[in-house]
Amino acid sequence: MMKLGYDKTVGTLKGVFWGVVNPIQKRGNLIPILYVLVMVALAGGFVDALAYPVADQGALVYPGAGAQTIAEAILDSFVILLGGAGIYLTYMSGRQTTRARAVNMYLGIALLLIAVSTLAGVQLLLIKSSG
């Protein structure tokens, strides 16, 4: 029997998902990664986006205090992850003692991530406060 396109797509996505999750699960890092993702989602405002939904979910950022869209919560989480990755790379640059160029590379990328995260966060704040 021939599979439908939907079944093929779902099967492919399932294979990609388990291809990513299985190595993480075998090393025992799945629970800490899920914990970090849940904490970032809570900090990004998913509870606020679900508890107080706005009528216009088509807006990327809802201008006005007290409510936000789910897309805005995802953007907030992304900004938090970028800043966290920058802080982690700053930490890793201090641990690189064997290669001097690696220290500069890690530190440069870390500062770039922190700067992009800060600028994106300020831009979201300006859009949010314009309403």
Q: With 60 as the cut, is the pLDDT of residue 127 above it? A: yes
CB 47 within 8 A of CB 61: no
pLDDT for the residue 6 = 62
**Closest to 111 in 3D by CA, of 87, 81, 75, 79:** 87
pLDDT for the residue 57 = 67
Amino acid at 8: K
List, for residues 23-60, the tens digit of each pLDDT value.
766 777 777 777 778 888 888 888 877 777 777 666 67
pLDDT for the residue 97 = 66
CB 107 within 8 A of CB 90: yes
CB 45 within 8 A of CB 79: no
Q: Looking at residues 67-87, what average pLDDT do you find?
A: 86
CB 52 within 8 A of CB 64: no
Average pLDDT, the chain: 79
pLDDT for the residue 1 = 47
CB 124 within 8 A of CB 63: no
Rounded CA separation 16/25 (Å): 14
